[in-house]
Structure 1
């Protein structure tokens, strides 16, 4: 190494390097704090939504095993469709964030209107699908004592689909405006109302008919209509948002609606692919006996609960990155991208360690059966193994949504889940082609392989996208709020 010929120049260089490093760390911590403030209400919202599903399942299970089975079958048909609908309507979030960042208020009005039109169109298609549930269950050879109850449950749920779609759209609008607290509060209120509504309609209190599992469908419909109504009134009376509910908001603009749909469909398909793969795996594991099914379900339920945090952080990353890009600040968007991914990774390290340390205690929360608990504890280890790769692919996907890049991530998810996770899982779990059939564990190995591949491909896509952005000094953009 050459010695420095000018000590003053060397001192200045060292000081500048230290200052740059200090500013970079300061920028990361500032951005992480801002992302947490934005994402914490989203996390609570997601947990509240999951809480409604838990309430439906647990309260129906108190009636009879048949009612519980009807909820499970009905949810398996509705859940993937709801994910697709939610994803399509999520396009409103990055669009609103971009227009908000660039100060294009009129464009926000137009985008909100097209989002509402898409919500109504999507809800009609979802209702048509649910009306075919009886034929679908007959084709799937669902048990005859379960199918009629599941069909009635879905028909009751169909009544609330427009309210669900409307809430999704208004939720996406608020998130795009950087307001994640209002959806959180209304989701918590919905959860609070869902519990007594279920109790009254399931058990037939105060002169109401005892509907069993079907009552859960009606309760969910009523709650979501209430939530969408409250959200609409909130926006209509908000001093900043009410300007977006002028008469022109309902003006249909085919080209703009189509552009929003093209942005949202890959998001919806991406989420649909991720959600539906677990439903398929559950059906395949159904051949392995009751204990294996129960153990798998426990591990899947807990890992799904843990996934709500990185998923919510990815929504926050989309908003932060979209807002920076709307301002024309590519360097700030890059900082927010890397900070968001790093924060999500930090959480995944904590969750992974916690899962390994407390896997047996986690399993006992769900069951006292020693065989099922032991099986669940062994499968939960696999969930710990994919926390890092899942965090990377989820956070990176959130960044790419902020850049309005949704098509290639959709294909990446398809290849990772359907091209790798499912074939590898099936081969290892149910065949002896590579090793002796591993049972449920084989499918979890497949999930790890798929998520790792998705993380690598998403990261390469993000790197390629960021390389196209003009390089700007990162330090110049560290004064953001």
Structure 2
């Protein structure tokens, strides 16, 4: 036991040191959504519902872009571990072209979101405001995509602190910009939820410019000459990024679109249900940032070990990291259970919204651990560049078990009767639990095979 304890902290201490600034950056960026939700909710339930419904389109599309570009992180980590620094600049250039390509479906989804809202029978006032919110947000899309490319370069190089600092500064820009544009201060018109979109787009551009300056003038990145010249799109480079990254993006998109589809399905149940669901989802997402950051750090650490041709170390790092995620998720579930009645009061003063949100958050306690395990298993597998089977697993668990089972519990002829919005959260418990089992099995298979292949060579 003493030997295990020493090895546990030997590998997990550097993992935590990398994960903490990643966590800070994730919290700061997620904090923009939290700030939007709180400040719009203080204006009116309609504005809160519009932000919630708009976020149900914005979130999955951005995560598709973010997830695909996350291929940069393990590719940079492998190149760093193998001392192949000449690969960095071409990788960043081709990743930027991939990001530009992915903006096309995102813009299309934003500008034609009204069609989706009408199909899902979202209340007209909420649907119109949500569409305007997305169009305002679209001005920040190019900045957001390029920020993700630079962020993955820094994180794959074990340099997460500048991303943290810039993300916090972006949040600090977002808060006063929201205040001015939502409530119509300093001579500006009162834009409500639409003001959230413009304020967030402004913050995205600020963050991207700041991180661009950091990569340009930081001594560590200067030899890479990222911006000295720029290469045109090259199929081999784009293919490598899409081969690793597109399954990651689709996996994350599938998970996020699960919540999106739930939000759209319940759009016809009224403002209180939509708002309560959004408050619960927003708070649980905030706590989910802790295991998510550990998973992102695992991608880097596993990638470094594999780049250095140490598969046994990579396997050990992966499973010790998963064990750390288990402990962290248990703590998060406890916080969620105890704090939910007080936290929901920050989001809305409406008693019905508070009551529903509290009930949903306490349901989320039951999938907190499995969610932490599955995201860290997936993070370790990204370090192995094993992403396509992960995509298939998540597609089955999230959409067939999670969404299908959730719809059956919410509206179907099940033995307990229609459960409404709570039924979808029962589906989440089942889907995420199944994902954790299958992804841990896949991590064991992949890491063992990689280790055996190295021994046989």
TM-score by length of 2: 0.91
1:109 aligns with 2:84: no
In the alignment, what sits opposite 1:3?
A: none
In 2: Cα distance, 1:433 partner to 1:204 partner? 48
Per-residue deviation, residues 7-51 of structure 1 (Å, max 9, x unmatched): xxxxxxxxxxxxxx6444322102111111101111111111121
In 2: Cα distance, 1:210 partner to 1:359 partner? 31
How do 1:145-156 and structure 2 match up within 5 A? 145-156=125-136
Structure whose alpha-carbon radius of gyration is higher:
1
Alpha-carbon offset, residue 466 of structure 1: 1.8
In 2: Cα distance, 1:426 partner to 1:247 partner? 53
SS for the counterpart of 2:219 is coil
Per-residue deviation, residues 172-211 of structure 1 (Å, max 9, x unmatched): 1111111111111111000001112222333444444443
In the alignment, what sits opposite 1:15?
A: none
Q: Is the 8 A contact 2:77 2:307 kept in 1?
A: yes
Per-residue deviation, residues 148-180 of structure 1 (Å, max 9, x unmatched): 443333222222110111111111111111111
How do 1:243-322 and structure 2 match up within 5 A? 243-244=223-224, 245-286=226-267, 292-322=273-303
CA 1:65–1:397 in 2, change beyond 3 Å: closer, same or farther?
same
1:184 aligns with 2:146: no
1:435 aligns with 2:412: no
CA 1:199–1:428 in 2, change beyond 3 Å: closer, same or farther?
closer
Q: Is the 8 A contact 2:216 2:227 kept in 1?
A: no
Select 1:171's aligned residue among 112, 131, 151.
151
Count of matched residue positions in the alignment of Structure 1 and Structure 2: 453
The runs of 5 or more residues in structure 1 that have no matched partner are 1-20, 474-481
Q: Is the 8 A contact 2:409 2:418 kept in 1?
A: yes
Q: Is the 8 A contact 1:112 1:249 kept in 2?
A: no
CA 1:292–1:220 in 2, change beyond 3 Å: closer, same or farther?
closer
In 1: Cα distance, 2:156 partner to 2:323 partner? 22
Select 2:370's aligned residue among 367, 384, 389.
389
CA 1:200–1:428 in 2, change beyond 3 Å: closer, same or farther?
closer
How do 1:231-250 and structure 2 match up within 5 A? 231-244=211-224, 245-250=226-231
In the alignment, what sits opposite 1:93?
A: 73
Alpha-carbon offset, residue 358 of structure 1: 4.6
Question: Which moves more between the two structures, 123-132 or 370-379?
Answer: 370-379
Q: Is the 8 A contact 1:330 1:472 kept in 2?
A: no
Q: Which has the higher contact order (CA 8 A, sep 6+)?
A: 2
In 2: Cα distance, 1:365 partner to 1:197 partner? 20
CA 1:314–1:297 in 2, change beyond 3 Å: closer, same or farther?
same
1:128 aligns with 2:140: no
In the alignment, what sits opposite 1:462?
A: 443
Per-residue deviation, residues 336-362 of structure 1 (Å, max 9, x unmatched): 101110110011122223334455445
In 2: Cα distance, 1:378 partner to 1:426 partner? 18
